[in-house]
A and B are shown apart, each in its own frame.
Chain A
Amino acid sequence: MIMALCLVMAFADLRFFRVQNLMIILQDASIFLVLAMGMTLVITGRGIDLSVGSVAALSAVIMAMLIKDVGFNVFVAMAVAILVGVACGSVNGFVVTKLRVPDLIATLSTDLVFRGLALVLAAGMVLARFPDPLTWIGRGRIFDLLPVAAVIGVIAIAVGYVLYRYTPLGRYAVAIGGNTEAALLTGIDVHRHKIYQYMLLGGLAGLAGILLTGRLNAIQATAGMGLTLHTIAAVVVGGTSLFGGRGSMTGTLVGVLLLSMVVNALVMLRLDFFWQQVAAGLIIITSVAFYAALQDPSTGGLSGLLRRARSGRS
């Protein structure tokens, strides 16, 4: 699909391939890389978090107010942003496990709560002009080329890859998402691990809030509205099953880059903004439907198809 997109863009507009533009794509992708890493684990564990956009906004608003109004050191304030994210994540985890509210409803509701808190705190203000370290993280370039935020995003995915394959956090996400009953029976503390997954994603949402603030050098309580759906779409486009039990961190990397390229291409083609929205939505549906077909149990999923292709049967 990436190849198809490249082909189309090769005919349409060669500027797409300029290094500068590719760096812009990476810059745009960075926030989603960070969020999608945690979202991959949550979705693999048969959860979903619809509150990440609001968590990012709330963390960012709190950080901004600490810097501007209280005069906190910028690094301390950033640490607080991540801790606020972790706290929001543990609220989500608590509501989902201990209160037994289904993930979708739970995080749809906490999304309102976190967004509301951000709105109350910021009281309609836009906080702007932050110290250099924050803007460097958000929009700085290494050697005037590589976006700092993109480096952070790629590191996040790399860490996610290790977590998924080489730690109980990832292994138990697969087990819980794939067969909760079996996971319980082997003595895995399912609630604890679900809470960990949500806390990790919350912390990453806090980090996303930092990146968002640094990039714009401004933040307001309504920021990051579209982050959640875009993140989930990227994860699913990357091949992680919405039904849980099966995820892919490398797939998520590809999914995020793909969606960012699509959005970038639409901008380059000077599609009217509103049509961009329509096109982005359609592309998401197409990709998800494509993967749903691939993951259809009757075909044995993507790996099943590959296996059969390799063994020469159809």
Chain B
Amino acid sequence: MNQPPPSVRSDAPLLEMHSIAKHFGGVMAVAGVSLHLAAGEALAIVGDNGAGKSTLIKVLTGVHELDEGEIRMEGRLVSITNKRQSRQLGIEAVYQDLGLVDSLDAAGNVFLGHELKRRVLGLNFLDNDRMAREAARVLREEVGIELEDIHVATHHLSGGERQAVAIARAIYATDLKILVMDEPTAALGPEETRNTLALMQNLKSQGIALIVISHNLDHVFRVADRVMVMRAGRAVATLDRRSATKQDVLAYIVDAVDTEAA
């Protein structure tokens, strides 16, 4: 119980995770992983099925509480025990099921919980028109996608469009600092994959940091600055994209490299 006081360093990276461990019963899903991330940087996490990638980021997004280790944001020790806390720190996750309300339109989702209001006869009413305009603007200017019909329920949008709406919500509703994406391109067609990769570049250029889990090394090499390889709950290597090749990464994933030496 004698933790060091939360010291603040001005040169600290946006995010530091130190010796994170998480187990489920007897399964050591994550066994002491450390990583760091700067604003505007993209870190890819790769590894075989069951390597612990999702578990690691779920510790960050507040889905799972960590067993051991510590998380610092801008040098300050933070405690993340639920999703709400994670969100308040500016960390947002876009999962496969995206957490959208299907029957609401894009604006309804982007502004959910933060609706714009208009006073009529002294009463507050939802300003649906302004929210629709504003949502369309965020989608166009910051996410880079134009919806054919802004009023259609998100249920009817394509996978890529739904992802864009989820990201627009993350940008708008919170002071987004870190966007976590688990398999963002897995369910998308070629055209939408291109859009999503472009969108990720766009977010980086706005100073938003990305953590991306993907099995697709082509996509990883298109957006990531660094690639962290996980195997059996451990980070076996972190490679710089500029100096490493896909073969190098693959070798670590399939355990062709002596991990003790790495």
Contact = CB atoms under 8 A, between A and B. Distances in A.
Interface of A: 162, 165-168, 171, 174-175, 178-179, 181-188, 245-246, 300-301, 303-304, 307
Interface stretch (B109-117, B182-190, B221-229): B109-117
A304 B153 CA distance: 10
B118 to A, nearest CB: 9
Contacts of B100: 179, 182
Contacts of B133: none
Interface in B54-94: 83-84, 87
Given A167-B126, A174-B101, A246-B103, A183 B156 contact: no
Contacts of A188: 112-113
A244 to B, nearest CB: 9
B155 A187 contact: no
A181 B115 CA distance: 18
17 contacts: A167-B125, A168-B126, A171-B112, A174-B108, A175-B104, A175-B108, A175-B112, A178-B101, A178-B102, A183-B101, A185-B99, A188-B112, A188-B113, A300-B155, A300-B156, A301-B155, A307-B156
B101 A179 contact: yes
B128 interface: yes
B14 interface: no
Measured as residues with beta carbon below 8 angstroms from the partner, the interface class of chain B is 20 to 34
With most chain B CB atoms within 10 A of its CB, the pick from A185, A188, A300 is: A185
B99 A179 contact: yes
Contacts of A185: 83-84, 87, 99
Nearest to B102: A178
B102 A171 contact: no
Nearest to B93: A185
B173 interface: yes
A182 B126 contact: no
A246 B102 CA distance: 9
Nearest to A179: B101
B112 A183 contact: yes
With most chain B CB atoms within 10 A of its CB, the pick from A162, A186, A301, A303 is: A186
Nearest to B98: A182
B79 to A, nearest CB: 18
Given A171-B108, A186-B113, A304-B156, A165 B101 contact: no
A311 B112 CA distance: 30
Contacts of B104: 171, 174-175, 178
Q: Which 9 pairs show the lowest CB-CB distances between chains A and B?
A: A186-B113, A178-B101, A182-B99, A166-B125, A179-B101, A246-B103, A245-B103, A186-B112, A178-B103
A16 to B, nearest CB: 37
Nearest to B166: A182
Contacts of B114: 186
B113 A187 contact: yes
Nearest to A187: B113
With most chain B CB atoms within 10 A of its CB, the pick from A162, A178, A181 is: A178
Interface in B192-240: none
A186 B110 CA distance: 10
Contacts of A184: 84
B126 to A, nearest CB: 5
A152 B83 CA distance: 44
A185 B84 CA distance: 6
B181 to A, nearest CB: 16
A187 B128 CA distance: 20
A312 to B, nearest CB: 16
Contacts of B99: 179, 181-182, 185
Contacts of B128: 165-166
Given A175-B108, A182-B100, A183-B112, 16 more contacts: A166-B126, A167-B125, A171-B126, A183-B113, A185-B83, A185-B84, A186-B114, A187-B113, A188-B112, A188-B113, A245-B101, A245-B102, A246-B103, A300-B156, A303-B153, A304-B156
A246 B126 CA distance: 18
With most chain B CB atoms within 10 A of its CB, the pick from A166, A188, A307 is: A166
Nearest to A170: B126
A121 B200 CA distance: 67
Contacts of B155: 300-301
Contact of A171 (B83, B115, B153, B156): B115
A235 to B, nearest CB: 16
Nearest to A189: B113
Given A171-B115, A171-B126, A307-B156, A187 B103 contact: no
With most chain A CB atoms within 10 A of its CB, the pick from B83, B87, B104 is: B104
Interface string B126-137: 101000000000
A100 to B, nearest CB: 18
A175 B126 contact: no
A54 B102 CA distance: 34
Nearest to B127: A166
Contacts of B101: 174-175, 178-179, 182-183, 245
A246 B154 CA distance: 13
A257 B115 CA distance: 34
Interface string B142-161: 00000000000101100000
Contacts of A182: 99-101, 112
Nearest to B87: A185
